[in-house]
């Protein structure tokens, strides 16, 4: 991330249940004035021999991982694995409470003291920018 450039975001989510939330995040990231750039995201695929290697390569090009949390996130194996790889790579991550009326869950591997951030764009975007700055040298 450059001082004036957008924060490059990887969106981690459960494609089976929360594709609508991913689409909403993607629209908000391209809205005028957004300082976030959604450059990669979860894919619904069966793990294969090179799956983790390719995911690590894709995560190398982002500043922050955003975990979109829905009602089934704790049981989504791809979300847990992606979060583990983000942690291994030293990527900061932010948990986004995806459904206002739902009981959103943390992915396996998230710390108990990780904060959920409400989907109020200005607050959430500020938290993502802050997480991205923490990685800068």
pLDDT tens-digit readout, 69-91? 999 999 998 999 999 999 999 99
Q: What are the residues facing 95 on neighbouring strands?
A: 67, 116
Predicted confidence at residue 8, as pLDDT, reads 95
pLDDT(137) > 50: no
User: For residue 137, how many C-alpha atoms fall within 13 Å in the half-sphere facing its CB?
Assistant: 1
pLDDT of residue 5: 84
Please say whether the beta carbons of 3 and 22 come within 8 A: no
The answer to whether residue 3 scores a pLDDT higher than 50 is: yes
Answer yes or no: is pLDDT of 46 > 80: no
**What integer pLDDT is reported at residue 4 of this predicted model?**
60
Classify domain 10-134 by CATH number: 3.40.50
Residue with tokens 């904060």: 115
pLDDT greater than 70 at residue 135: no
Domain ranges of the chain: 10-134
């Amino acid at each position: 991330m450059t001082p004036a450039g957008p924060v490059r975001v990887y969106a981690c989510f459960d494609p089976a249940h929360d594709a609508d939330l991913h689409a909403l995040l993607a629209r908000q990231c391209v809205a005028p004035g957004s300082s976030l750039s959604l450059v990669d995201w979860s894919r619904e695929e069966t793990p294969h021999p090179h799956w983790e290697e390719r995911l690590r390569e894709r995560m190398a090009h982002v500043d922050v991982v955003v975990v979109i949390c829905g009602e089934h996130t704790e049981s989504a194996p791809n979300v847990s694995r992606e979060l583990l790889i983000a942690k291994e790579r030293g990527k900061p991550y932010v948990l986004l409470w995806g459904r206002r009326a739902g009981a959103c869950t943390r992915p396996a591997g998230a710390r108990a003291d990780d904060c959920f951030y409400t989907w109020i764009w200005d607050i959430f975007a500020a938290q993502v920018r802050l997480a991205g700055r923490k990685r800068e040298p």
